[in-house]
Structure 1
Amino acid sequence: MSNLAVPRPVRAAVVVWLVAVGAGVAETLVHLALPDPPGPAALLKRAVVSAGVVILVLALPEGRNIVRWTLAVLFGLLGIAVLVVEPITWLAAGELPAGQLAVAVLRALHLAALVVALVLMFRPAANAFFRSARRVTPASGAGVAS
């Protein structure tokens, strides 16, 4: 773990990523109450993805750039793409399926949180933090207790 102070944008990104995960979990719970709930395989997939995101998000303050880029590409950009497909089909059909209003609101929150988290992770202070964290190595004596 880096001994560098974690900048505000990185700390905020962690919170916003967790809001996104929470919105996704809430959306899953709403789906369970709908007439055609997700099956066990879909629930397991969502649980694994959510757990993976939480693990990476909690590692973000350690300053590992690979964590930031994994979150950005796999769960940020691809996540946004996945989240917009279903609403596009609703719009193409010209209606919001019954019971989907709560899902749509949670989906919008989820999408907004992903966009904000992505922006925060690449703010100038965050960029400097991730660059500096790469230069801090155990061999340089950083993080070694005296």
Structure 2
Amino acid sequence: MRSDMGIPGTVRAAFIVWLVAVAAGVFETVLVVGSGRAGDGAGAGVAVRAAIFVAATLVALKMRTGRRWARLTLAVGLGVLGTLSLIVGPLLWLIHGHSLTPLLAHATALDLTFGSSRVVHVAAVLAGCVLMFVPSANAYFRDPHPAS
């Protein structure tokens, strides 16, 4: 693995925001399970999320070392598919004519905490995707890297 000195700042920043996204996902899972709102099948849902969080972290580590496949996996897997899984439900809810005003008026502290975490989560994913494809990152991913 290269030393941090050989890794562009944009790639280091992308790695950090990917970890922020994973941490936000873990936090959201803990909130939902801890609140009792997870419902039936919570164990399976937690297991799936845990596997995704571990895989995302491992792939982000590989992205940091310049692996092109890891950058692509993060961009498509989490940047596209993961983001869609986070925003489709709320977007459909809004499209069906619901309003944020009554939702926010009746929101609990848990609801607001979860919503804030989700905003951080989505912002971190989008930032990670952008940072992985700026010119300095593109040059880093074009350079050959020893297998690891």
TM-score (norm 2): 0.82
Between the two proteins, the alignment pairs up a number of residues equal to 136
Q: What does residue 9 of structure 1 align with?
A: 10
CA separation of 1:64 and 1:129: change in aligned 2, threshold 3 A:
same
Q: What does residue 127 of structure 1 align with?
A: 138
What percent of counterpart residues are identical?
38
Q: CA deviation at 1:68?
A: 0.3
Please list every run of 5 or more consecutive structure 1 residues that lacks an aligned counterpart in the other structure: 139-146
Q: 1:1-146, aligned counterparts within 5 Å?
A: 1=1, 5-37=6-38, 39-91=42-94, 92=96, 93-94=98-99, 95=103, 99-133=110-144, 136=145
Please list every run of 5 or more consecutive structure 2 residues that lacks an aligned counterpart in the other structure: none
List per-residue Cα deviations over 1:5-37 (Å, max 9, x = no partner). Answer: 111100110000000000111111111233422
How far apart in 2 are the matches of 1:32 and 1:137? 42
SS at match of 2:82: helix
Letter in 1 for 2:18: W
Letter in 2 for 1:49: I
How far apart in 2 are the matches of 1:28 and 1:19? 14
How far apart in 1 are the matches of 2:81 and 2:90? 15
How far apart in 1 are the matches of 2:31 and 2:11? 30
Q: CA deviation at 1:85?
A: 2.0
Letter in 1 for 2:59: L
Q: CA deviation at 1:73?
A: 0.3
TM-score (norm 1): 0.83
How far apart in 2 are the matches of 1:45 and 1:55? 15
Question: What is the CA RMSD across the aligned residues, in angstroms?
Answer: 2.2
Q: CA deviation at 1:59?
A: 1.2
